[in-house]
Amino acid sequence: MSWPASVDLLAPLAPWFDRVRRDLPWRATDLDAPHPDPYAVLVSELMLQQTQVATVVPYFTRWLDEFPDPRTLAEADDDSVHKVWEGLGYYRRARFLKAAAGYVAAEGWPGDLEGLAGLPGLGPYTAAAVGAIAFQWPTPALDGNAFRVLARLLVIEGDPRARAMDLRTWLAPALESHGPSRMTQALMELGATVCIPSPTCGVCPLSNRCGAYLESRIGDIPPVVKRTRPKASQLWLVSFEAEGHVLLQTPTARGLLAGLWCWPTFDAATHHPQPTAPGPHSITGWPGWIQVYTHRREAVSPLHIHLKSRFIPADGLRWAPRENLVDLPLGRRDQRLRDLLGTPGQTPLEAPDPVTLIRSLSER
């Protein structure tokens, strides 16, 4: 490892960060002292996983209003926890946060990085970030942004993640010298605002020492990773309503939508539309949309089917009073149909047969 010393190479980052740092609700004023509220740091780090700062800010504020400390969160029921998280995505994070809060409320904060990394939902990156920002430990936190910045600075060929151990060892003295919280957040800020995939090197405090910039290799460092093509599907997303109740799938413990209430869905490849005819039910439709997940793309066709009376729901389904809909945590796709229910739709010319849909629910 023949990299220049991190203490010197990264020195301009600290004054740059003091100058440009954004005023964020989880950021302490004094970056040289341990954070006055480690729980706020933990919440912000979990929320910031896979999510932009601007999206997180209102969620963070609301979360701290509802669950101001680990004990309040640990004692909250799952539906209210998911409800406050509703719309932020990756709901596992909410459950991890609640479980981690339970541990902290019972045992206190762990005293070292290994203990933090043992909390639910804290991988090596989040544990190191909380260690540095909340407790001023010199624990280098390397996420995708940090790897990109360091790969460019040090002209690392290939995937910089393969050098994670070396990079942590290299980075630690800079944290000790310039302050763990300040340097960690400075690196995050640079990776989020300046050294982005198409970087603005002209305003970068490190441009006069950045290997990739000086060698004109920004385009190929780090190498672009090819993403696998998301799986595509087409589905009917259906709100059955009868006698003032709507039919919902109860939350599951596992999977992408664990902890959330969902509308029943039907594969459009097997439930073909047919001309709608007058009957004991009424059908309303709205324009569909494409719902994008990390590994999946769904072409969603939303329908509301109003029935004369309720049927006995199969396992995993429940009739919920319609007025309770607003209190139940739903994922983004399902929120969208909930919101459509309050808007005028149209009777579609074609739709799947409601009787067949109801029958298929009991066969699952």
Residue type, 251: P
Q: Facing residues of 270 across strands?
A: none
Q: How many CB atoms lie within 10 A of CB 66?
A: 14
3-class DSSP state of 288: coil
Out of 47, 129, 210, 237, point to the residue binding ligand SF4 (CB under 6 A): 210
Note whether 153 binds ligand SF4 by CB under 6 A.
yes
3-class DSSP state of 349: coil
Q: Please give the size of the binding site for ligand SF4, defined by CB under 6 A.
A: 14
Out of 206, 305, 358, 361, point to the residue binding ligand SF4 (CB under 6 A): 206
Helices 38-48 and 124-135 sit at what angle, rounded to 10 degrees?
150
Least spacing, CB of residue 17 vs ligand SF4, in Å: 13
Beta-strand relationship, 265-267 and 282-285? unpaired
Residue 153 or 337 with smaller CB distance to ligand SF4: 153
Cβ(357)–Cβ(271) below 8 Å: yes
DSSP letter string, 83-138: HHHTTS--THHHHHHHHHHHHHHHH---SSHHHHHTSTT--HHHHHHHHHHHH---
Interface region with ligand SF4, contact rule CB under 6 A, candidates 86-94, 99-107, 147-155, 273-281: 147-155
Least spacing, CB of residue 144 vs ligand SF4, in Å: 14
Cβ(145)–Cβ(64) below 8 Å: no
Least spacing, CB of residue 222 vs ligand SF4, in Å: 10
Catalytic, out of 45, 189, 241, 298: 45
Note whether 256 binds ligand SF4 by CB under 6 A.
no
Residue 22 or 272 with smaller CB distance to ligand SF4: 22
Q: 104, 32, 46, 41: which is closest to 73 by C-alpha?
A: 104
Interface region with ligand SF4, contact rule CB under 6 A, candidates 91-99, 176-184, 208-216, 291-299: 208-216
Least spacing, CB of residue 128 vs ligand SF4, in Å: 21
Cα–Cα distance, 150 to 143 (Å, whole number): 11
Angle at 268 between CA 283 and CA 244, to 5 degrees: 30
Out of 20, 57, 172, 218, point to the residue binding ligand SF4 (CB under 6 A): 218
Out of 110, 138, 180, 199, point to the residue binding ligand SF4 (CB under 6 A): 199
Interface region with ligand SF4, contact rule CB under 6 A, candidates 5-13, 15-23, 201-209, 288-296: 201-209
Q: Is the dihedral angle over the CA atoms 128, 129, 130, 135 positive or is it negative?
A: positive
Residue 31 or 149 with smaller CB distance to ligand SF4: 149
Q: Is the dihedral angle over the CA atoms 25, 292, 318, 307 positive or is it negative?
A: positive
Out of 84, 204, 317, 337, point to the residue binding ligand SF4 (CB under 6 A): 204
Out of 128, 195, 283, 361, point to the residue binding ligand SF4 (CB under 6 A): 195
User: Has 114 been annotated as catalytic?
Assistant: no
Q: 2, 16, 362: which is closest to 185 by C-alpha?
A: 16
| Chain residues in the site for ligand SF4 (CB under 6 A) | 149, 152-153, 194-195, 199, 201, 204, 206-207, 210, 212-213, 218
Residues labelled as active-site residues: 45
